[in-house]
Structure 1
Amino acid sequence: MAKASATKEIEKKEPAGELAGFDYGADAGAGYENVGQDEFSIPFISLLQSGSPQVKGANKIEGASEGMLFNTVTGEVFDTIEFIPAYRTKEMVEWIPRDKGGGYVGSYPMDDPVVEKAKANAGGSRDLKTDAGNDLVETVYLYGIHLSDGGPVPIVISFTSTKLKVWRNIVTQLNMFQIPQGDRRINPPLFAHRLKLGSKDESNPKGDFSNFTIEPAEGSVRESLVDPASAEYTVARDLVDLVKSGAGRAATETLTPEGGDEDEVDAGY
Structure 2
Amino acid sequence: MAEEQNSHTSSEQVLARLREVILSGELRPGEKLHQDRLAEMLGVSRTPLRTALTALTQSGLVVYEANRGFRVREFSFVDVLAAFRVRAEMEALACKLAAPRISEADIACLHEMVALGDRLIEDGTLQTERLPAYRQMNVDFHTTVLQASGNKWIENFIDQLHNVPLASDRLIMWHDYGVIRRSHDDHRRIATQLAARDGDRAAGIMYEHISFAADHLVEHLKRSPEDFIRVPVGDVDDIDPKPRSKTRRKKQS
TM-score norm. by structure 2 comes to 0.27
* Greater helix proportion: 2
* Greater strand proportion: 1
